[in-house]
């Protein structure tokens, strides 16, 4: 661990130094103006990168085409320095401009300071990554950028060491790319940071991690955050030695321009050439405006601290250094500062004008329509007031427009005239436009969308042998690994032993450790490793050993992966497949089925629940032909059940969102999925002995759910609905009922109230009896379905017990 000190020789030209200074001042001015815009009501919230301008400019100088950033929401100067953010775009994002040309990162969907570059074209297809500077899309949760950072760096390792990937030059040039991470000092207390740092050290990946240390986390000083009050000292055990790999750890002062250049040059060279991770602890950072527009740092910083921050502001110190080195005169620097401030103000004015002009156009249109409707109505005065209130809005928003139109039409209900119809038609058209701006692109809309893959039925012959279900999966993974060098699998115990249920047995020996890889026990960064690799064009299969362990990674899945296409307005994607196994096994922590949590948390991903390993194989084939992220939950108690291997295993595919009727019936429709399919089928057979013919439908996928509305077609015949699953009451069953009864209007065909049969509202107790009394069993399904029919026809189905 070392601290870089300034040398007398300048590492860059005088012209470049002055350009750097002008950019720093312009970025600072943007922060100062941005705060005022929030207080004026023109933006909702502001969080800015003031105080970090000089170190970020230094970092940017060693960021090459093909490199990747995974940072946090104070990196505006860095993004400007690499040419991926203009000051006008900075303000467009602050105003939440929904035009993707104005805010390329997110089309107004992400808060200000959340940056991304677009690596997909308008059709959702990959653009070349090696001819441009790249930034993965930011998220707000502190340290949430860390898991993805690991994957971005790990991809370089794979591209360098797996020679079969050499042809993919649009994504990597022999693994020469470095992943740059940034984080605030307080956020290094998060587990995501520590897990990522440990994994990066183990994997030895090209990662340069910058910690901006301003001594606080909002109002909380460093002594409450970090042992030894220094992240570099706390991580000193990670420092590499002659005989032990690890990190290169460097410290540098945020206001020392030359030392910053030397430090970043050294770190990036080490990382790029030797694939050694580096930590740069940037100390003595100031925060001129405090944390954000939500409060003032004068409330918690001492007078001495505030005075010190003024003196050691990085821009002020850079100016003093420039004057001392006689690079420019004070008068020349005054001119530069003036030009920079003018540029920032002009960028703000232009961004606001372009943002507000479209809204004002809609305001003028709707006011005109409202006023015309007022003239023709009996409520002229009341409606005219609506138009007047909208006209006086200082900073009108689209919601104001919709509210005004709807308020007018409510007053006009029951009346019929052309002007009202014109307003109503305009409202419908504008609502569709706004819906596209705010509610589109949750899933892939490209030609490679998983929803475009059609079913290729499994084919069987008398020669197809019965094998354990795990062998079907093994054959599927064997084929996928063979046909595509981009595909690799990794997770706890996946490598040498081929996973705990043998789905990858023997495949590491066949394809090598780069293709089938063991990891440590670190679910969050397993997911992050997959996200980053998928962003860079690879096709990872990340394994979470058990469904219960998904909770470790749910934040990364929910906040990062599931929102990626949405929050970038289709500008980024990460077609990661997460493989796990769940439902029934033994005990409180190995039998979970938290499907309601998953369904509510992972909108933006597909959730697939195959009942056996053949169905799972069909889904893997489908997903590998598509570009959507997905979670595949295999049935934990099905690996050793016998299945017949399809003759066309390599071509067999299952369309997503298409249920399968496992048993036809006329008395009741039972919808289920996963492991409970076997329970329900046995119960249905027993019910048949009592004269009750149940139609059993395997939903197969929960997101998407029943696209052809097959279940409603069944209800037209049976008029009764039962949902069976292993989640708690009101978990996944609530979602399924909403889809069937509300979305698909299934309520119209019911003659009895719908019935749900779920697990008990606790984790399963240990042992076979614990499983039996905690989860749906054959007898329970039989009894409740029989009771449903008995209520309708007690003579035919008399009480049993």
Q: Number of H helices and number of E strands within the chain? A: 26, 23
Catalytic annotation, pick one of 281, 590, 749, 762 = 590
- Classified as helix, coil or strand, 607 is strand
HSE of 200, CA atoms in CB hemisphere, 13 A = 37
Phi, psi (degrees; rounded to nearest 5) at 707: -65, -40
For tokens 């809609």, the residue is 362
Task: Provide the greatest CA pair distance for the chain.
Answer: 103
Peptide bond preceding 704 in cis form (omega within 30 of 0): yes
Contact 502, 127 (CB under 8 A): no
Contact 375, 395 (CB under 8 A): no
> Rounded distance, CA 689 to CA 687, Å?
5
For tokens 């023709």, the residue is 376
Nearest-10 crossing angle of helices 418-439, 398-411 = 150
> Rounded distance, CA 694 to CA 673, Å?
15
**DSSP secondary structure of 219-255:** TEEGGGTSGGG-HHHHTGGGB--SSS--BEEEEEETT
Could you tell me the two tokens for 724? 């069976």
> Rounded distance, CA 616 to CA 369, Å?
55
> Rounded distance, CA 628 to CA 145, Å?
20
The secondary structure of 665-681, three-state, reads CCCEEEEECCCHHHHHH
Answer positive or negative: Cα dihedral of 532, 533, 535, 539. negative
Residue 281 a catalytic site member: no
> Rounded distance, CA 785 to CA 762, Å?
23
Contact 791, 752 (CB under 8 A): yes
Contact 580, 545 (CB under 8 A): yes
The whole-angstrom distance between residue 729's C-alpha and the CA centroid of its chain comes to 28
Q: What residues are labeled active site?
A: 590
């Amino acid at each position: 661990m070392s601290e870089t000190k300034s040398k007398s020789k300048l590492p860059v030209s005088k012209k470049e130094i002055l350009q750097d200074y002008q950019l720093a001042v312009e970025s600072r001015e943007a922060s100062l103006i941005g705060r005022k815009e929030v207080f004026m009501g023109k933006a909702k919230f502001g969080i800015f990168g003031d105080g970090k301008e000089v170190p970020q400019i230094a970092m940017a100088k060693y960021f090459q085409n093909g490199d990747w950033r995974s940072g946090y929401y104070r990196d505006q100067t860095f993004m400007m320095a690499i040419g991926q953010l203009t000051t006008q775009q900075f303000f467009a994002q602050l105003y939440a401009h929904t035009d993707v040309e104005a805010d390329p990162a997110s089309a107004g969907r992400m808060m200000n300071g959340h940056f991304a570059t677009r690596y997909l074209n308008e059709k959702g297809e990959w653009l070349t990554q090696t001819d441009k500077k790249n930034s993965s899309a930011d998220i707000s949760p502190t340290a949430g950028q860390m898991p993805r950072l690991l994957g971005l760096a790990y991809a370089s390792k794979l591209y360098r060491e797996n020679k079969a990937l050499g042809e993919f030059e649009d994504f990597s040039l022999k693994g020469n790319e470095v992943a740059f991470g940034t984080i605030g000092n307080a956020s290094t207390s998060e587990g995501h940071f520590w897990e990522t740092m440990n994994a990066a050290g183990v994997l030895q990946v090209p990662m340069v991690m910058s910690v901006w240390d301003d001594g606080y986390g909002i109002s909380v000083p460093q002594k409450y955050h970090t042992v030894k009050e220094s992240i570099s000292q706390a991580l000193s055990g990670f420092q590499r030695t002659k005989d032990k790999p690890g990190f290169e750890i460097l410290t540098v002062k945020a206001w020392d321009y030359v030392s910053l250049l030397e430090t970043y040059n050294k770190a990036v060279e080490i990382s790029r050439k030797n694939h050694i991770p580096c930590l740069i602890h940037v100390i003595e950072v100031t925060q001129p405006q405090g944390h954000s527009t939500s409060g003032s740092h004068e409330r918690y910083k001492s007078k001495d601290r505030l005075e010190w921050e003024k003196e050691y502001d990085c821009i002020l110190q850079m100016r003093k250094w420039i004057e001392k080195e006689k690079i420019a005169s004070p008068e020349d620097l005054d001119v530069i500062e003036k030009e920079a401030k003018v540029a920032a103000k002009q960028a703000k004015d232009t961004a606001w004008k372009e943002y507000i002009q479209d809204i004002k156009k809609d305001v003028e249109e709707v006011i005109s329509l409202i006023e015309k409707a007022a003239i023709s109505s009996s409520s002229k005065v009341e409606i005219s007031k609506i138009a007047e209130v909208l006209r006086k809005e200082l900073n009108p928003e689209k919601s104001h427009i919709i509210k005004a139109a709807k308020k007018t039409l409510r007053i006009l209900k029951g009346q019929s005239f052309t002007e009202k119809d014109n307003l109503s038609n305009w409202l419908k058209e504008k609502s569709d436009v706004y819906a596209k701006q705010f509610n589109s692109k949750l899933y892939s809309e490209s030609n490679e969308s998983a929803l475009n893959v059609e079913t290729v039925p499994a084919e069987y012959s008398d020669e197809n042998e019965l094998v354990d279900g795990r062998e079907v999966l093994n054959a599927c993974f064997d084929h996928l690994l063979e046909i595509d060098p981009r595909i690799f699998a990794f997770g706890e115990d996946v490598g040498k032993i081929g996973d705990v249920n043998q789905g990858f047995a023997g495949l590491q020996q066949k394809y090598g450790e780069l293709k089938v890889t063991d990891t440590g026990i670190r679910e969050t960064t397993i997911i992050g490793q997959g996200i980053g690799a998928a962003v860079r064009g690879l096709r990872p299969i990340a394994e979470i050993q058990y469904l219960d362990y998904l909770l470790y990674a749910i934040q990364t899945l929910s906040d990062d992966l599931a929102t990626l296409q949405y929050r970038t307005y289709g500008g980024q994607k990460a077609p990661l497949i997460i493989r796990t196994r769940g439902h029934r096994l033994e005990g409180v922590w190995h039998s979970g089925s938290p499907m309601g949590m998953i369904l509510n948390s992972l909108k933006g991903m597909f959730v697939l629940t195959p009942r056996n390993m053949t169905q799972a194989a069909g889904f893997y084939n489908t997903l590998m032909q598509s570009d959507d992220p997905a979670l595949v939950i295999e049935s934990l108690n099905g690996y050793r059940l016998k299945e017949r291997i399809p003759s066309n295993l390599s071509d067999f595919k299952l369309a997503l969102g298409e249920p399968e009727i496992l048993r036809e019936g006329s008395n009741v429709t039972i919808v289920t999925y996963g492991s409970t399919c076997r329970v329900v089928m046995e119960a249905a057979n027993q019910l048949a002995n009592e004269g009750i013919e149940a139609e059993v439908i395997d939903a197969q996928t929960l997101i998407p759910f029943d696209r052809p509305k097959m279940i409603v077609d069944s209800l037209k015949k049976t008029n009764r609905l039962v949902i069976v699953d292993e989640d708690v009451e009101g978990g996944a069953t609530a979602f399924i009922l909403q889809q069937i009864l509300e979305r698909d209007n299934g309520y119209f065909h019911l003659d009895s109230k719908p019935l749900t049969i779920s697990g008990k509202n606790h984790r399963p107790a240990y042992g076979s009896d614990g499983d039996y009394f905690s989860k749906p069993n054959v007898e329970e399904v039989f009894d409740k379905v029989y009771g449903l029919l008995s209520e309708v026809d007690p003579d035919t189905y008399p009480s049993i017990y």
